[in-house]
Copies of this chain bind each other. A is one copy, B any other.
């Protein structure tokens, strides 16, 4: 795969700009409701709660998961139902709670280009405000009054937490298989995309089969998103100066680019990965070596192909169940997630 091929894969009718911005515009009225819910439900007389959550939630964040929720509902015939808005806000709160806990667990110092909340308010506040946001997500879901939505989201919450523990247990495991990596990505990331799309669709129409197709779209989109995220942590396909890279490497988190580089490399490459990722014995030059091995071994290309396969599957699932302007943008979103790698 190269740049020319990749450009060719874009639908010829793709309008200017990117699908996140276009969905944000198309869903402006829905998003206004969601933003109101996010602000109202993060409110608390305990100042740390709005301060910390506002720092994370109001500042930045593409609102990707609420957009998927809202667009899924609209794509299958929804008309901006209140339940869809509650669900979209709940999904963003679950995501935010996960970020707060991840920062503590990963000991990350940066989030969205700013110091992580735990570096400003402390780890304890990040843990407890994360719990608060998760609890508020739960009340928002109950406010949908839809037991099917509650089933989907409560199960997804379990899968996400299970995936986080699985990832923790996999840290530094130089023998991690691609299947195990995919299981972690599916749980910690794709499960919420899937739940957002499936439950979103259910609030927009009453057809379980359509909702399941949207769920499959979300799941595949989530996998593509996570795979590309992991590639971007090694600079993606082209190095962008100034972009922060190497977090996963420093934490010993074995991701798809590393697994492919390990499998495609020779014995000395494998010794390198074992030393740096399992023994966590790293020098300043090692990250550059890691990036070089991922590029030269073909691991980066192979990772991108894996992401593209998920994006293709996402579009196929979507095409079975929905058409029209919202479905078109959701389809382009799948490609856009992969194109981020460039």
Contact indicator A157/B135 (Cβ below 8 Å): yes
A166 contact set on B, CB distance < 8 A? 46
Q: Is A308 an interface residue (CB 8 A)?
A: no
Report if A165-B48 is in contact (Cβ < 8 Å); known contacts: A128-B101, A145-B147, A147-B142: yes
Complex interface residues of chain A between 121 and 151 (CB less than 8 A to chain B): 123-125, 127-129, 131-132, 134-136, 138-139, 141-142, 145, 147, 150-151
Report if A44-B138 is in contact (Cβ < 8 Å); known contacts: A101-B128, A127-B127, A128-B105: no
Q: Which among B49, B139, B151, B162 is the interface contact of A44 at CB below 8 angstroms?
A: B162
* Interface size of A in residues (CB-CB distance below 8 Å): 39
**What DSSP secondary structure best describes chain A's contact surface?**
helix
A25 to chain B, nearest CB (A): 33
Q: Is A104 an interface residue (CB 8 A)?
A: yes
Alpha-carbon separation in the docked complex, A162 to B104 (Å): 19
A151 contact set on B, CB distance < 8 A? 142
A155 contact set on B, CB distance < 8 A? 139
A128 contact set on B, CB distance < 8 A? 101, 105, 161, 164-165, 168
A55 to chain B, nearest CB (A): 14
A162 contact set on B, CB distance < 8 A? 44, 46, 49, 132
With CB as the reference atom, state the residue of chain B lying closest to A97. B131
Q: Mark A94-116, 1 if CB is under 8 A from B, else 0.
A: 00000001001100000000000
Most buried by B among A49, A105, A131: A131
Q: Is A154 an interface residue (CB 8 A)?
A: yes
Alpha-carbon separation in the docked complex, A134 to B124 (Å): 17
A205 to chain B, nearest CB (A): 22
With CB as the reference atom, state the residue of chain B lying closest to A135. B157
Q: Is A160 an interface residue (CB 8 A)?
A: yes
A46 contact set on B, CB distance < 8 A? 162, 165-166, 169
Contact indicator B129/A154 (Cβ below 8 Å): no
Q: Which among B105, B139, B142, B145 is the interface contact of A124 at CB below 8 angstroms?
A: B105
- Can you identify 14 A-B contacts, CB atoms within 8 angstroms? A46-B162, A46-B165, A49-B162, A101-B127, A101-B128, A101-B131, A104-B127, A125-B165, A128-B168, A131-B161, A135-B157, A138-B157, A138-B158, A147-B147
Instruction: Known A-B contacts: A46-B166, A138-B158. Give 13 more (CB < 8 A).
Output: A49-B162, A125-B165, A125-B168, A128-B164, A129-B165, A132-B158, A134-B134, A135-B158, A138-B138, A138-B157, A139-B155, A141-B154, A147-B147
